[in-house]
Copies of this chain bind each other. A is one copy, B any other.
Amino acid sequence: MSDEADVLAANAAYYEAFSSRDFPAMSEIWAPEGVSCVHPGWPALVGRQAVLGSYREILRNPRQERIAFRDALVLAEGDDARVLCTELVGEAALAATNCFRRLGGAWRLVHHQASPVVTAAQAAGKSLH
């Protein structure tokens, strides 16, 4: 497969692990070090213990909404790649960035951030920037 196809497969595996509440798979997807994550509304989490700890809680939360993604786009350069996609969580759309690094031939997740996208109706309020 091309790098782009490999990165898209790694990105899809992240959402599959999330959807199926598969913590061991999620743990394997994340790189062994140098990781960070910004869940919607959360401050940044840095390091495997903080990041994986958050996923352990999220994946076993029975009230966690279903998640899906669409419109994945890859920007790759050497051993680093970034996927931009839209997450669909319940009724909400989020702009998500997943940063991968190629380690030992596999694309491992080093950073995830998802931000709520404000709808036209909500945008009647104040924009931050």
Contact = CB atoms under 8 A, between A and B. Distances in A.
A39 interface: yes
Contact of A94 (B67, B73, B97, B128): B128
A95 interface: yes
A126 to B, nearest CB: 8
Interface majority SS on A: helix, strand, loop or mixed?
strand
Q: How many copies does the complex hold?
A: 2
A103 to B, nearest CB: 10
A78 to B, nearest CB: 8
Interface residues of A, number: 44
B113 A75 contact: no
A77 B34 contact: yes
A89 B40 contact: no
Contact of A36 (B41, B80, B84, B90): B84
